[in-house]
Structure 1
Amino acid sequence: MALLSPSSAQDRTPPAGSADTVQAPGAQQGFKGVLRSVWLWPALATLALTMYQIGRPQLWEDELNSWDMAARSTDQLLAAVQRVDAVLGTYYLFLHAWMGVFGDSATAVRMPSALAMAGTAACVALIGQRLFGRRAGLAGGLLFALIPVVSRYGHEARPYALVVLAVALSTLLLLRAMDRPTSWWRWTGYAVCVGAVGLLHLVALTALAGHLVAVILRARSERLIAWRFCLAALTGVACAAPVVLLGREQAARQISWIPQPEMWSLLTFWPQLYASALVAGAVTTLAVLAWGERRDAALFATALAVLPPLALWTVSHGDVSYFFYRYLLFTLPAWAVLAGAGLTAVRSRAMVAAALVVLGLLTLPEQQVLRKPYGHFWQGLDYQGAARTIQKFHRPGDAVVYDRGPDYWRMLDVGVRFYLPDDLQPRDVFLAESAADRHDLWPSECQDPAACVKDEQRIWLVVGGSEGDPLEALPAAQAEALRSRYTATGTERLTGLTVALLQRTR
């Protein structure tokens, strides 16, 4: 049997038309065939879990950044990514088009991620079936659905779920291309998918290290595969060349906050990768059990899971560190494939089903936490509550002031604007130039605050924290300009921020 050829495991579904298959009318047979498909139930389970309460957690800072960028005009967006966030430019353009069709509610902007995770579960099942057999593929796909971080980033208006899907799909297409190495169509599909990986997130191109292992295993007997792989992979990487060039220039600004990893980081990031220490341990243990008869398949899946973290850890000891758990989410499908194979090594369907049920029950606490209002935050910020307060007590002619101090990454202005109705957007008193007009992530404020205060009778003040005097959170010049003309007539302290109403006194 050729290395990494489709598994001939005894649990594979009999082909249509075999002696064990009862023939049925075309439509009915097709429907039953879909129901028996190994990818269907993992995809549906993942979609159900990711869609459950998808709109409940408030958008956090990174998601608000996605919405703010995608809500700009195409010209503004293209101009911005030439200065900042070029590595996410493809995702922003996609989300821009998506919002134009489906709107920009929390559910709408997160829906692509939920669909991507469901698609990934289907790929996991198909890869697992090909490498280890049908039962292993089904178990791996269902196990993938249960991993808490899958729901977490299936609820995220960021590109990471799409990256996971692109890597899983590229892996599946590579295996199919190696089945028919003379088919240029299959290698073209693989090249396109590799290009999508690079355009969505450059770090995920480290998955090619795992793909190379598969090619080496097969190239021993079929040398043509090596040449076709190199051509397809290089073509895909070349498609992402503009992002590579811009990303290198912007890296110091974008990810300078990521610390240089220590040796222990190779172990300590695993619980974060799964959003559960228990699942991390269970999946790793099951993956070890996958090293049975199909050692070539186990070697390939292990390389795809292990080599990218090692590569990122190594290069992160230069000027810029890239070693962060969510940048490595694309390795989860490989771990799920291995765990599915290890789980089905017990040969008892009842035990496999029981193990999946137990794992699902044990992960319920993590799943519940992820769906709380501040489940996406490091530190909660009640943007929605602030918007609700302003909307409830708003009067025509009201203005607003946002705290844009040293902690502007909290994006109080963008968060409140997202949750306010489109027809209720008070004048931003100290805003000089919006982020969209500046082609940047951050806006600029007027240099002379006193001159920017007009004749509004009431101004809403939104600041971080819960200071006794909300004006203390503002820069001194802004606070003085407001104190000289306004007095606070009401204050509401919410999670992570304060909303105050200032009334004009003169």
Structure 2
Amino acid sequence: MVATTPLSPPREEIRNAEAAAPRRHRPQQLLWPFALTFAVTSYGLTAPLLGRDELITWEVVTRDAGHILATLHNVDAVHGTYYLLMHLWVSLFGDSVISMRLPSVLAASGAAAVLSLIGKRLFGSRAGILAGILFAFVPAVSRYAQEVRSYALVILLAALATLLLLRVLDRPRSPWRWAAYALTLLGLGLLHVIALSVVAAHACMLAAHARRDRSLWWKSALALLAVAVCLAPLVLLSRSQVNTQLWWIQVPDGWALLAIWQDILASGACAGALIGFAVLARSPRRSALLLCGVWAILPPVLVWLASQGDVSYFRPAYLLFTIPAWALLAGAGLSAACQSWKAATALLAVLAVLNLFDQRQVRQPYDHDAPIMQTPLDYRSAADLIRKHYRPGDAAVYDREHSWKIDAGVKYYLPRGLKMRDVFLQSAPSEINQLTAVDCSVPDQCLKGEQRIWLLSHGADPDPFNAINQGQASVLRNRYKPSWSQSLAGMTVTLLVRND
């Protein structure tokens, strides 16, 4: 009798069988990336001070829902969905630093788990787990998982939309899967319209499969049209506000486009490692590599092109949703290069060591304002100083001419029961449904005879009156004199006492 060797199943059948693996393997596929990302991103969660954007979030979400909607009509409509979600969260769990940053930590951890599932479908189980682990090591993931803004949620929804697209392609006749995909895209657009450029990668995947099922053309067009119609009012409103919100973003040159991936990942070493691993990525299905490659590269190019006009949108934070694509390609490359878990673990350990400096950097006290403000402000130390020397009846003057949100920063870190009248404040942002306050036009009429006033000014000028509005300074000079002054990072705290 002649021995026969059983035929090996085709690679496509192997992939399909792996995608339909028993559910008992799924917890491990999800657990390791989620747990590691949660551990990494929650470490040092309270170390960085709230940045300017986070203070805006805090100010807006602590208003009632009616005032939030009125504010969105005037400014920042693009972040409206996030503000409303955080308003609900803060009303339930409070506005501590941990409470407000926790949703971003959970979103980043969830994104790692979803990423692992995508990797399993496209490149295999080990590649998926490695992709989730590599995602956790990216310094930018920690940076924005610790920020009270929508970016971590955007990453999660971009990854989830991609996973749901793959599920649609498994069963394109299911209206429920199309609905889930469309609703996730709608949520993504509501959180950040620019992130919808991920659809360019989805379109490539749909086109590759439409050769076998032409109904995908009209089904996907219908789903995307429904999303576009729902988002049209938000896009139009946001477009009307863009000149007042993004005026400070510079028009990018060619070098900015070449350097963007290092900025997105917040680490040159991490960018080099992920790109190096990504080059090694292999798959029997070209559509898998096409999906991840277009997802990683095309959105920054599209945003760069869109930023060559009157308004620039080219900011690394707006392109963070491309990080999962790089992690997927790098996970596939690392899996292909290492035939054992020991070898892969050794390379991961080396990458973790290389990233230590950048991981530490994103947890520095003033890092959340570093990309925006050249001179970060030490709100927490200023608040501690006032708390230590405070007396009932004390008032405050905030430098709103040179330091936007110095008032919100100090007020956040002051004890909630410590109240000081804002001497020159005419209208608080919450009263006029804006993000900025309005000072009284006649400063002399705003003084109420306070015996002591805390002056919080920008910089370290020996004469703190030079740092504030000169009309206010003139009034204060005539009636008050500095008792003592202390310079902190980026600002000066001065106690003024009334002339006898």
Answer yes or no: same fold by TM over 0.5.
Answer: yes
Question: Cα 1:14–1:325, aligned 2, differ >3 Å: closer, same or farther?
Answer: closer
Does 2:336 align with 1:345?
yes
Q: Is the 8 Å Cα contact of residues 430 and 446 (structure 1) preserved in structure 2? A: yes
1:396 — aligned with what?
392
Alignment of 1:94-493 (within 5 A): 94-346=85-337, 347-378=339-370, 379-405=375-401, 407-409=402-404, 411-493=405-487
Measured after TM superposition, the shift of residue 240 of structure 1 is: 1.9
Question: Cα 1:13–1:79, aligned 2, differ >3 Å: closer, same or farther?
Answer: closer
Measured after TM superposition, the shift of residue 485 of structure 1 is: 1.0
2:15 — aligned with what?
8
Correspondence for 1:46 among 37, 40, 50: 37
Gaps of 5+ in 1: 17-29
Q: Is the 8 Å Cα contact of residues 5 and 179 (structure 1) preserved in structure 2? A: no
Deviation sequence 1:300-337 (CA, Å, 0-9, x none): 11111111111111111122111111110001111111
Q: Secondary structure at the match of 1:82?
A: helix
Deviation sequence 1:398-438 (CA, Å, 0-9, x none): 10000011x343x1100001101111120000000001111
Measured after TM superposition, the shift of residue 498 of structure 1 is: 0.6
Alignment partners' CA distance in 2, 1:322 and 1:276: 21
- The AA in structure 1 aligned to 2:343 is M
- The AA in structure 2 aligned to 1:436 is S
Question: Cα 1:391–1:485, aligned 2, differ >3 Å: closer, same or farther?
Answer: same
Q: Is the 8 Å Cα contact of residues 128 and 134 (structure 1) preserved in structure 2? A: yes
Measured after TM superposition, the shift of residue 92 of structure 1 is: 0.8
Q: Is the 8 Å Cα contact of residues 19 and 121 (structure 2) preserved in structure 1? A: no
Measured after TM superposition, the shift of residue 144 of structure 1 is: 0.3
Alignment partners' CA distance in 2, 1:6 and 1:434: 64
Q: Is the 8 Å Cα contact of residues 7 and 131 (structure 1) preserved in structure 2? A: no
1:22 — aligned with what?
none
Alignment partners' CA distance in 2, 1:392 and 1:284: 51
> Larger deviation: 57-66 or 222-231?
222-231
Q: Secondary structure at the match of 2:29?
A: coil
> Larger deviation: 124-133 or 316-325?
316-325
Q: Secondary structure at the match of 1:264?
A: helix
Q: Is the 8 Å Cα contact of residues 403 and 458 (structure 2) preserved in structure 1? A: no
Question: Cα 1:5–1:431, aligned 2, differ >3 Å: closer, same or farther?
Answer: farther
Deviation sequence 1:266-321 (CA, Å, 0-9, x none): 21112111110011011111111114433221011111111111111111112211
Question: Cα 1:53–1:472, aligned 2, differ >3 Å: closer, same or farther?
Answer: same
- The AA in structure 2 aligned to 1:67 is W
Runs of 4+ with >3 A deviation: 4-7, 12-16, 32-35
Deviation sequence 1:45-65 (CA, Å, 0-9, x none): 001111111111100111111
Question: Cα 1:34–1:270, aligned 2, differ >3 Å: closer, same or farther?
Answer: closer
Deviation sequence 1:60-108 (CA, Å, 0-9, x none): 1111111111111111111111111010111111111110011101111
- The AA in structure 1 aligned to 2:90 is M
- The AA in structure 2 aligned to 1:254 is Q
Correspondence for 2:495 among 482, 501, 504: 501
Alignment partners' CA distance in 2, 1:310 and 1:14: 36
Alignment partners' CA distance in 2, 1:250 and 1:87: 9
- The AA in structure 2 aligned to 1:462 is L
Alignment partners' CA distance in 2, 1:132 and 1:415: 46
Alignment partners' CA distance in 2, 1:13 and 1:436: 51
2:48 — aligned with what?
57
Alignment partners' CA distance in 2, 1:291 and 1:402: 58
> Larger deviation: 243-252 or 257-266?
257-266
**Alpha carbon RMSD of aligned pairs, Å?**
1.7
Question: Cα 1:7–1:109, aligned 2, differ >3 Å: closer, same or farther?
Answer: farther
- The AA in structure 1 aligned to 2:490 is G
Q: Is the 8 Å Cα contact of residues 74 and 241 (structure 2) preserved in structure 1? A: yes
Alignment partners' CA distance in 2, 1:116 and 1:52: 15
Measured after TM superposition, the shift of residue 380 of structure 1 is: 2.4
1:27 — aligned with what?
none
Q: Secondary structure at the match of 1:453?
A: coil
Question: Cα 1:210–1:404, aligned 2, differ >3 Å: closer, same or farther?
Answer: same
Q: Is the 8 Å Cα contact of residues 465 and 498 (structure 1) preserved in structure 2? A: yes
Q: Secondary structure at the match of 2:158?
A: helix
Gaps of 5+ in 2: 1-10
Alignment partners' CA distance in 1, 2:138 and 2:13: 26
Question: Cα 1:92–1:468, aligned 2, differ >3 Å: closer, same or farther?
Answer: same
Correspondence for 2:75 among 84, 87, 110: 84
Measured after TM superposition, the shift of residue 226 of structure 1 is: 2.1
Q: Is the 8 Å Cα contact of residues 19 and 120 (structure 2) preserved in structure 1? A: no
Alignment partners' CA distance in 2, 1:253 and 1:76: 20
Alignment partners' CA distance in 2, 1:58 and 1:276: 21
Measured after TM superposition, the shift of residue 6 of structure 1 is: 8.8
Q: Percent identity?
A: 46
1:24 — aligned with what?
none
- The AA in structure 2 aligned to 1:120 is A
Measured after TM superposition, the shift of residue 368 of structure 1 is: 1.2
Question: Cα 1:327–1:82, aligned 2, differ >3 Å: closer, same or farther?
Answer: same
Alignment partners' CA distance in 2, 1:99 and 1:170: 27
Q: Is the 8 Å Cα contact of residues 124 and 141 (structure 1) preserved in structure 2? A: yes
Q: Secondary structure at the match of 1:489?
A: strand
